Chain A
Amino acid sequence: MASNNDRPVARGAGSERGSDPVARTRGAVRRYPGVLALDHVDFEVHPGEVRALLGKNGAGKSTLIRLLSGVEKADEGTVEIAGTALTGGGSREASQLGVATVYQELSLIPQLSVAENYHLGALPTGRGGLVRTAHMKDAADAALAELGVRVDPGTPVGALPVAEQQMVEIARALRGSPKLLILDEPTSSLAAAAVDVVLQAVTRIAATGVAIIYVSHRLNEIRQIADTASVMRDGRLVETVGTKGASSDDIVSLMLGDAASATEATARRTSAPATDRPVVLSVRELAVPPKVREATFDLHEGEILGIAGVLGSGRSELLRSIAGLQPPASGTLTVFGERLRRWSVRDMIRRGVGFTPEERKTDGIVPLLGVDENIVLADRSSVRRGPLLSGRRQRAAAAKLVSALSVRTPDVGVPVGALSGGNQQKAVIARWLHRGSRILLLDEPTRGVDVQAKAQIYELVRKLADDGVSIVFVSNELEELPLVCSRVVVLRDGAIAAELTGADITESAIFAATLADGTGSAAASTTGESQ
């Protein structure tokens, strides 16, 4: 494919100032096995500009960032920093040219002090090679004060609130006086109230002439700090728009493109919502600080209820709290008519609630044990003979579920760690079916699973619901919610902000509801409002 030179080069507000771009890509292409992650992207950003980078998961934002920060090299096209083309010298080369990146995951060492973290890798030393402690603290203090943060630089970083940790991270990125600062979802792990600190700091940094690329899913934040937003979709830079001019609806439709309407037409769940069926689980004003303020919703028998929300909205925390892993600060839970104020994992299991965690490998499976043992783990009473386990019954019970769920394994005795992610996931679901659970809480059940296995998991979930099992389905991939869910609630700013049912469950409606920016233009804040 030749480079599309006729595509307009994205021009930001900074370009009007007549300055040279800090970073520029020309026809940048990046391929991964089987995926065109970046498709001839022309992008530039100018000094003092705050450029938002928007797009769904997999749209190519992360890839573009990796190219700009030198972590990866473009397969075709050029990447220039301050007028110098990157030659594949890694992140070191890019950082010498003035690129600093703050990734979503914090890279601080919690036990070390703020000052030590700030200087990490370059501690100021004096005579005899000893660390100049006082100087180190002063420098860290001054750097943080510039960003509008006051903390004692001697405090261990782990003792700070997450927002301030984030500020230490940003201050550290600024230590080398970069020309371009890339912030990859800096607020995704923050509670809504703590976001302002970060936003104010970003504005201050931009005022000093640093160019900033700001990745976020929160449209309201972007409106506050960014002049322009580049929207990516399917590896292409679709358009760069002024954030003041474009409505949220415009931006959402740019992000989704035509693809959304296409998938919406296919293979959606057609069965009627089960809201007339009895309520099996009701959650009332559940608070799980800091992210979930008060969540209230019901789950009906045989229903598949999706919970949507942007990364960091507290979806997983909410589900883990219901499962008994994280005691809520307040709120109640009613399970099969029994009202609970406090509950543990084992209480919930006993009442027929099964939870499959997001982190399958660290929380879900026991990799060295066989598929059969993993499946019977939550209930061994039915596979016993007297006080001893019966290997035969164990295998038989597991084999039944292995074939019902089409788990691909040469033998039920195979260590589950040897199976693929999708089959491991099915084994974890099978564990709760073996236990006879009537409510399943599935946290990102298709994460890290191949396309075919995804389809099988959707099929399985629908079949279970038809058999009367009630399911809560949490997913980060919005396009899968319309495929499986009969109802979707959206978690935003710590509460259930929207509910969608039946034909209103579309990717764009969910997407708009998760992003809603307070002006209400795109928010499906009431039941039934569609795109």
Chain B
Amino acid sequence: MSSTAQTQTTPAEVQRHVRRLSLSRGVNELGLLAAIIVLYIVLGAKAGGFLTSGNQLGILRDAAQIGIAAWGMTLVIIAGDIDISIGPAVAFGSVMVAKGATSWGLGVPLAVIVTLLIGAAIGAFAGYLRARFNVPSFIATLGVYSALRGLAQFISNALPVPLPDSGFFDFLAGSVAGVPTPAVVMILLLVVFLVIALKTPYGRAVYALGGNPRAAELAGIPVKRIRISLFAVNGLLAAITGVLLAARLGSGNGGSAMGLEFDVIAAVVIGGTALAGGSGSILATALGVIFITLIGNGLVLLGVNQFLQDVVRGVIIVLAVLVNVLLGRRNRLTS
């Protein structure tokens, strides 16, 4: 219009701004850490058996159920998308591996491999709908959600499909040096995803396209390919979780992992990853996973009514997001 906008920013302002920004990031993670410590103190005092090693290992095992998928979910959300199909994808994976290893006669190794591949392929399909046709990822994965739950129940006749006797499944259900195997898998994957998110061109491209997809596209980043791959990875992680779940239960179960997507998304969001995309941290998600798992475990130990547990979890996730929104508003970039 009339005169050119003056957007002069002094270095001092920039510095102040940057300090505030990094402070708020730290505050979020420190706050979560403090909340976890408080939970430990309160539950240790109030909930009988909370601090026993058996319960602590149980917490780790439960955490793996959420955590493995949460690493991939963090990247999906940083990219500005969402995947709500985790629960059914896990159940479907557990049924697939059980069926494959038994009535379909694939044998255990092949059944596991096929399950993981199909999981990744289904995720890639949802990602393709998102990337190629701009179907909102919420809708694409909502469709997958319904279809996979139905398929899992249909294939299994809504009955548990027992696993065959297998040293491999025993290993997955067991532990490595005292640590439950799923927890070991979760921690290994945590390291892998930390490196991907922070250190690889791929991971940084995810941040770039979540922060500004148009700028990323203009910089030559293959936005579509990355979007598809993110959902494929999420499908793969859900399938891994499904195999681990089947090994733990001794059967594939089409009705299992009900509402798991809620816990996974809640863990990511409590960790401070914004649903708008562009920012977030795998490490903070790990804290979110611990937080969510502790709440679940504590509510059980405290003997809270099962239905009221859902109420409490609902309130907590909204509160956590509210805190993040308020922090974010205070620190929005003044650019």
In the complex, are the beta carbons of B220 and A363 less than 8 A apart?
A: no
B contact residues around A367 at 8 Å (CB): 211-212, 278, 333, 335
Q: Are B201 and A368 in contact (CB under 8 A)?
A: no
Q: Does A14 interact with chain B (Cβ within 8 Å)?
A: no
Contact-size category for A? 35 or more
Would you list which residues of chain A between 359 and 382 have a CB under 8 Å from chain B?
361-369, 373, 377-378, 380-381
Chain B: which residue is nearest A362 at the CB level? B214
A349 neighbours in B (Cβ, 8 Å): 219-220
Question: In the complex, which residues of chain B have a beta carbon less than 8 angstroms from the beta carbon of A365?
Answer: 212, 215
Q: Quote the shortest CB–CB distance from A100 to chain B (angstroms).
A: 20
Would you give the shortest CB distance from B64 to chain A, in whole angstroms? 26
Task: Enumerate chain A residues within 8 angstroms of B333, measured Cβ to Cβ.
Answer: 367-368, 415, 417-418
Tell whether, in the assembled complex, residue B220 and residue A366 are in contact, meaning their CB atoms are under 8 Å apart: no
> Does B53 touch A at the CB level, under 8 Å?
no
The distance from the CB of B85 to the nearest CB of chain A, in whole angstroms, is 28
Is A245's beta carbon under 8 Å from chain B?
no
Q: Give the docked Cα–Cα distance between A59 and B217 (Å).
A: 37
Residue A421 at the B interface, CB < 8 A? yes
Q: Give the contacts of B1-26 with A (CB-CB under 8 A).
A: 1-9, 11, 14-15, 17-18, 21
B314 interface residue per 8 A CB criterion: no
Q: How many angstroms from the CA of A63 to the CA of B1 in the assembled complex? A: 9
Knowing A363-B214, A378-B219, A418-B334 are in contact, say whether A60-B7 is a contact too (CB < 8 A).
no
Q: Considering the chains assembled together, what is the distance between the CA atoms of A395 and B258 in angstroms?
A: 46
- Whether, in the assembled complex, B273 has its beta carbon less than 8 Å from a beta carbon of chain A, the answer is no
A366 touching B2, Cβ below 8 Å: no
A447 touches B278 (CB 8 A): no
Taking the complex as formed, is A357 at the interface, i.e. its CB lies under 8 A from any CB of chain B?
yes
Chain B residue nearest to A431 (CB atoms) is B219
Tell me if B207 counts as interface (CB < 8 A to partner A). Answer: yes
B233 CB → nearest A CB, Å: 16
The answer to whether A384 touches B201, judged by C-beta atoms less than 8 angstroms apart, is: yes
CA A417 to CA B199, docked complex, whole Å: 22
- A419 close to B9 (CB less than 8 A): yes
Q: How far is the CA of A57 from the CA of B1 in the complex (A)?
A: 7
Residues of A near B201 (CB, < 8 A) are 380-381, 384, 389
Q: Is residue A345 contacting chain B, with contact meaning CB distance below 8 A?
A: yes
Q: How far is the CA of A281 from the CA of B211 in the complex (A)?
A: 32
Contact A368 B335 (CB under 8 A): no
- A175 interface residue (CB < 8 Å to B): no
| Interchain CA distance A422-B8 in the complex, whole Å | 8
User: B142 at the A/B interface (Cβ < 8 Å)?
Assistant: no
In the complex, B143 has a CB within 8 A of chain A: no
- Whether A388 touches B195, Cβ cut-off 8 Å, given contacts A366-B208, A367-B333, A415-B21, is yes
A411 to B3, CA, bound (A): 31
- Whether A389 and B2, one on each chain, are in contact in the complex, defined by CB atoms closer than 8 angstroms, is no
Cα(A421)–Cα(B7), bound, Å: 6
Complex contacts, B207 vs chain A, CB 8 Å: 366, 368-369, 373
Q: Please tell me if A62 contacts chain B, counting CB pairs below 8 Å.
A: yes
User: Judging by beta carbons under 8 Å apart, are B200 and A369 in contact?
Assistant: no
Q: Find chain A residues with CB under 8 A from B7 CB.
A: 420-422, 448-450
Question: Which chain A residues border B221 with CB–CB below 8 Å?
Answer: 377
A241: Cβ under 8 A from any B Cβ: no
A contact residues around B279 at 8 Å (CB): 368
Are A447 and B215 interface neighbours, CB within 8 A?
no
User: Which residue, of B1, B11, B195, B215, has the highest number of chain A Cβ atoms within 10 A?
Assistant: B215
With a cutoff of 8 Å between Cβ atoms, the chain A residues found around residue B200 in the complex are 387-389
User: Is the CB–CB distance between B335 and A448 below 8 Å?
Assistant: no
Are A58 and B3 CB-contacts (below 8 A) given A366-B207, A419-B14?
yes
Given A362-B212, A380-B201, the answer on whether A62 and B218 have CB atoms closer than 8 Å is no
Is B216 in contact with chain A by the CB < 8 A criterion? Answer: yes
B221 CB, min distance to chain A CBs, angstroms: 7
Query: Cα distance A373–B218 when bound, in Å?
Result: 15
Closest residue of A by beta carbon distance from B13:
A418
Q: How far is the CA of A227 from the CA of B185 in the complex (A)?
A: 80
Q: Please tell me if the beta carbons of B218 and A364 are within 8 angstroms of each other in the complex.
A: yes
Any A CB within 8 A of the CB of B204: yes
B44 located at the interface, meaning its Cβ lies under 8 Å from any Cβ of chain A in the complex: no
Interface presence of A473 (CB below 8 A): no
B259 within 8 A of A: no
Q: Per a CB cutoff under 8 Å, which of A381, A387, A414, A421 touches B5?
A: A421
CA distance A424 to B335 in the complex (A): 10
* Complex CA–CA separation, A246 to B99 (angstroms): 88
* Interface status of B31 (Cβ within 8 A of chain A): no
Q: With A349-B220, A364-B215 as given contacts, are A415 and B208 in contact (CB-CB < 8 Å)?
A: no
CA gap between A446 and B6 in the complex, in Å: 11
Q: Does A157 contact B (CB under 8 A)?
A: no
B215 cross-chain contacts in A, Cβ below 8 A: 362-366, 377
Residue of B nearest to A320 (CB): B218
B48 at the interface (CB under 8 A from A): no
Using a CB-CB cutoff of 8 Å, which residues 276-332 of chain A contact chain B? 323, 325
- A 17-61 binary contact with B (CB < 8 Å = 1; else 0): 000000000000000101101000000000000000000011111
Any chain B CB within 8 A of the CB of A118?
no
Per-residue interface assignment for chain A, residues 472 to 508, with 1 indicating a CB less than 8 Å from any chain B CB and 0 otherwise: 0000010000000000000000000000000000000
Selected contact of A60 from candidates B2, B15, B208, B222, CB within 8 Å = B2
Q: Are A366 and B9 also in contact (CB < 8 A) when A349-B220, A388-B200 are?
A: no
CA distance A362 to B17 in the complex (A): 21
Instruction: Contact check, A325 vs B9: say whether CB atoms are below 8 A apart.
Output: no
Inter-chain CA distance A346–B219, complex, in Å, is 8
CB-CB nearest in chain A for B1: A62
Q: Give Cα A365 to B207, complex, Å.
A: 12
Report the bound CA distance from A369 to B197 in whole Å: 13
Are the C-beta atoms of A325 and B208 separated by less than 8 Å?
Answer: no
- The smallest C-beta distance from B100 to any residue of chain A, in angstroms, reads 33
Q: Tell me the complex Cα distance, A446–B15, Å.
A: 24
Of A37, A323, A367, A424, which is in contact with the most chain B CB atoms at under 10 Å from its CB?
Answer: A367
Shortest distance from the beta carbon of B223 to any chain A beta carbon, whole Å: 10
Whether a CB of chain B sits under 8 angstroms from the CB of A355 is yes
Residues of A near any B CB (own CB < 8 A): 32, 34-35, 37, 57-63, 323, 325, 345-346, 349-350, 355, 357, 361-369, 373, 377-378, 380-381, 384, 387-389, 408-411, 414-415, 417-424, 431, 446-450, 477
Beyond A357-B218, A418-B9, A418-B333, 4 extra complex contacts between A and B, CB < 8 Å: A57-B2, A349-B219, A389-B200, A450-B8
Could you name 28 residue pairs across A and B whose Cβ atoms are closer than 8 Å?
A: A37-B2, A58-B3, A60-B2, A345-B220, A349-B220, A350-B220, A362-B215, A366-B208, A366-B211, A366-B212, A366-B215, A366-B216, A366-B278, A367-B211, A381-B201, A384-B201, A388-B200, A389-B200, A389-B201, A409-B11, A409-B14, A410-B14, A417-B335, A418-B18, A418-B334, A419-B335, A424-B335, A450-B8
Report the 9 A-B pairs with minimum CB-CB distance, sorted nearest first: A421-B7, A366-B211, A420-B9, A349-B220, A380-B201, A417-B333, A417-B335, A377-B219, A378-B219
